């Protein structure tokens, strides 16, 4: 090789390298470098194929195509059937080569698509960077049917530069995309954290997630009594509240993510993947990801995201998906703690008022009654008018004392003036139910737990009255140092598991939410013709645990 030729090639490579490093836009880079290559080499036309399934168009860049190849919006360049593309896909191209006969050029000439301007052959060279392969660089020159070894070597060097630039830009684009994803995640977290009502959290959360990331379908499943309950569903910019349930092993990807406590992603889904979820209204999908929702490494549900298009979630990092799920569960925990603190503050205020009334007003009224009784005894038979007045004072003070004590009891949750079991028995009696009660343990329950069990018991008794076809109920309250357990049993006609499997009633869900708000759980067992048992178990935190939680 002459020194002048070598210097020319070095200058060409330098100018091409400068072009490659001038932008991070893939389309601009490919078109600019193709134009620069033809400018410094004197070749008349060129085109670049991207064949790694990451580009939308096969023909990613062209320059100065002859009329025959450019006809009909470059239709000849769009098909994938040609020798060079097939050879690339079969890993038969590893260096720059001459193409003896190009099917695209031949097709344009045969079908008289336009003037080919003397272009009959071209050279092709694979674009790669290390083990990554991206596509093909093709160049041609009018009247040239063969490229010499020096020209092919130059093309090979340029192709390596282009391949390296493609890899660099793709890495940059990936990092840029990840930054966008995490920025959007920050927006979603702020919106979810602004939700103040735990009952509104499912609907608003899936709506914020779907809108922010422009995802077609977002579904929230929560684990409840050996089932996965669909709490909320977002589809095509609309949110609907669902209360449908799936058996724990019939949820496909959702069940797998829950059981294995890990992210499950499918880039291309078949009909079998969709069938298990279609029964509860999840639309058919071609790609999906199931994110486990975890509290202290224990799964409590699954966030399921799907799309009718394939490979929609391949660009999202697993860490990003886990972060989305973890922040949602953190919001759930924060709202539960907020509800508990608010209830605790209310209970403390009631206790303070009760103490103040007991320590001041009741003592004074009691003293008044006592003094009236003493004066009445001293004046017995001596001053009838005064004696009658003292009797009236004593009677009024005793009535005031009784009313004040009743008022203090009423500072407790409504219906609990005489204790939980007594209140449930009276409530059942008001509905013509015979309640047989049993209490195990003597520990005093925190007010929040007592009120939650009272509301759960009320709803359970309502269900017995409406559906059980019996007027006898057995209620048992078990109190230990670590938990409170309320059991309500009836021996009525029971319920159908199949009917219950599809949909839970609002009352049942309300009972469950009351228990879960305090960190407990609620189970309902039974069947058609069998006794029905409603069991609510709520943990009782020690003072140290409550302090640590705060």
pLDDT of the residue at 289: 94
Chain centroid to Cα 285, Å, comes to: 17
Helix (H, G, I), strand (E, B) or coil at 220: strand
Percentage of residues in the chain having pLDDT higher than 70: 88
Higher pLDDT, 187 or 374: 187
Give residues with Cβ within 8 angstroms of 210, minimum separation 6. 216, 217, 218, 234, 237, 239
Lowest model confidence (mean pLDDT) among 75-84, 104-113, 245-254, 490-499: 490-499
Q: Hey, CA dihedral for 73, 79, 84, 90, is it positive or negative?
A: positive
* CB-based contact 487:524 (threshold 8 Å): no
Residue pLDDT, tens place only, 222-280: 887 678 888 899 988 888 876 678 888 888 899 999 999 999 998 887 766 667 788 78
The residue-averaged pLDDT of 516-532 equals 87
Q: How far is CA 372 from CA 219, 379, 387, in A?
A: 71, 11, 9
pLDDT of the residue at 408: 67
Which of 279, 332, 300, 304 shows the shortest CA–CA distance to 218? 304
Q: Determine the Cα–Cα distance for residues 185 and 28; give it in Å rounded to an integer.
A: 30
> How sure is the predictor about 526, in pLDDT bands with cuts at 50, 70 and 90?
confident
Q: What is the DSSP letter of 379?
A: T
Lowest model confidence (mean pLDDT) among 168-172, 300-304, 425-429: 425-429
pLDDT of the residue at 546: 43
Which of 56, 52, 54, 66 shows the shortest CA–CA distance to 136? 52
Lowest model confidence (mean pLDDT) among 261-275, 350-364, 451-465, 485-499: 350-364
The residue-averaged pLDDT of 106-122 equals 88
* CB-based contact 435:473 (threshold 8 Å): yes
Higher pLDDT, 398 or 28: 28
Q: Is residue 286 pLDDT above 70, yes or no? A: yes
pLDDT of the residue at 502: 45
Name beta bridge partners: 138. 47, 124
Q: Determine the Cα–Cα distance for residues 217 and 238; give it in Å rounded to an integer.
A: 9
pLDDT of the residue at 533: 93
> How sure is the predictor about 56, in pLDDT bands with cuts at 50, 70 and 90?
low
State whether CATH 3.30.450.40 applies to domain 195-316. yes
Percentage of residues in the chain having pLDDT higher than 90: 27
> How sure is the predictor about 127, in pLDDT bands with cuts at 50, 70 and 90?
very high
Which of 462, 485, 484 shows the shortest CA–CA distance to 473? 462
Q: Domain 3-175 has what CATH class?
A: alpha beta
pLDDT of the residue at 288: 92
> How sure is the predictor about 542, in pLDDT bands with cuts at 50, 70 and 90?
very low
Q: Determine the Cα–Cα distance for residues 193 and 501; give it in Å rounded to an integer.
A: 33
Give the 3-state secondary structure of 343-360: HHHHHHHHHHHHHHHHHH
Q: Domain 420-549 has what CATH class?
A: alpha beta
Q: Determine the Cα–Cα distance for residues 292 and 260; give it in Å rounded to an integer.
A: 9
Residue pLDDT, tens place only, 311-339: 888 888 889 999 999 999 988 888 877 87
């Amino acid at each position: 090789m002459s020194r002048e030729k070598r210097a020319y090639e070095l200058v060409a490579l330098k100018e091409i390298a400068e072009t490659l490093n001038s932008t991070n836009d893939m389309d601009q880079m490919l078109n600019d470098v193709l134009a620069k290559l033809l400018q410094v080499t004197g070749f008349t036309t060129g085109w670049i194929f991207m064949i790694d399934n990451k580009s939308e168009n096969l023909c990613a860049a062209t320059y100065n195509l002859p009329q025959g190849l450019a006809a009909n919006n470059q239709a000849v360049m769009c098909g994938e059937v040609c020798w060079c593309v097939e050879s690339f896909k079969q890993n038969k191209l590893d260096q720059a080569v001459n193409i003896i006969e190009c099917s695209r050029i031949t097709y344009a000439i045969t079908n008289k698509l336009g003037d080919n301007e003397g272009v009959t052959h071209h050279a092709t060279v694979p674009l790669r960077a290390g083990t990554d392969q991206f596509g093909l660089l093709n160049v041609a020159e009018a009247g040239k049917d063969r490229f010499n070894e020096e020209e092919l070597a130059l093309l090979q060097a340029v192709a390596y530069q282009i391949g390296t630039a493609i890899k660099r830009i793709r890495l940059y684009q990936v990092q840029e995309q990840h930054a966008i994803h995490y920025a959007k995640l920050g927006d979603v977290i702020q919106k979810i954290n602004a939700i103040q009502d735990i009952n509104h959290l499912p609907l608003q959360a899936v709506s914020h997630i779907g809108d922010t990331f422009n995802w077609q379908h977002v579904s929230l499943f929560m684990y409840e009594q050996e089932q996965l309950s669909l709490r909320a569903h977002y589809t095509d910019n609309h949110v609907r509240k669902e209360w449908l349930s799936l058996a724990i092993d019939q949820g496909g990807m959702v069940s797998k993510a829950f059981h294995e406590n890990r992210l499950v992603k499918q880039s291309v889904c078949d009909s079998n993947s969709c069938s298990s979820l279609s029964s509860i209204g999840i639309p058919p999908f071609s790609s999906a990801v199931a994110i486990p929702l975890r509290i202290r490494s224990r799964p409590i549900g699954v966030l399921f995201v799907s799309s009718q298009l394939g490979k929609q979630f391949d660009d999202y990092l697993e860490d990003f998906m886990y972060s989305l799920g973890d922040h949602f569960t953190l919001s759930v925990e924060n709202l539960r703690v907020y509800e508990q603190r608010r209830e605790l503050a209310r209970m403390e205020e009631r206790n303070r008022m009760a103490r103040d009334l007991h320590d001041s007003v009741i003592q004074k009224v009691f003293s008044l009654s006592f003094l009236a009784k003493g004066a009445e005894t001293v004046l017995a038979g001596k001053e009838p008018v005064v004696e009658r007045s003292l009797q009236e004072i004593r009677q009024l003070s005793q009535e005031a004392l009784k009313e004040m004590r009743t008022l203090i009891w009423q500072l407790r949750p409504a219906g609990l003036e005489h204790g939980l079991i007594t209140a449930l028995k009276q409530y059942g009696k008001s509905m013509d139910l015979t309640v047989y009660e049993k209490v195990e343990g003597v520990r005093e329950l925190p007010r929040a737990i007592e009120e939650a069990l009272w509301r759960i018991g009320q709803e359970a008794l309502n269900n017995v009255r409406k559906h059980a076809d019996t007027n006898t109920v057995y209620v048992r309250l078990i109190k230990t140092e670590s938990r409170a357990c309320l059991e309500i049993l009836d021996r009525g006609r029971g319920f159908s598991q199949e009917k219950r499997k599809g949909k839970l009633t609002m009352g049942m869900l309300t009972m469950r939410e009351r228990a879960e708000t305090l960190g407990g759980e609620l189970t309902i067992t039974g069947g058609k013709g069998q006794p029905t048992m409603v069991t609510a178990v709520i943990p009782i935190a020690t003072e140290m645990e409550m302090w640590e939680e705060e």
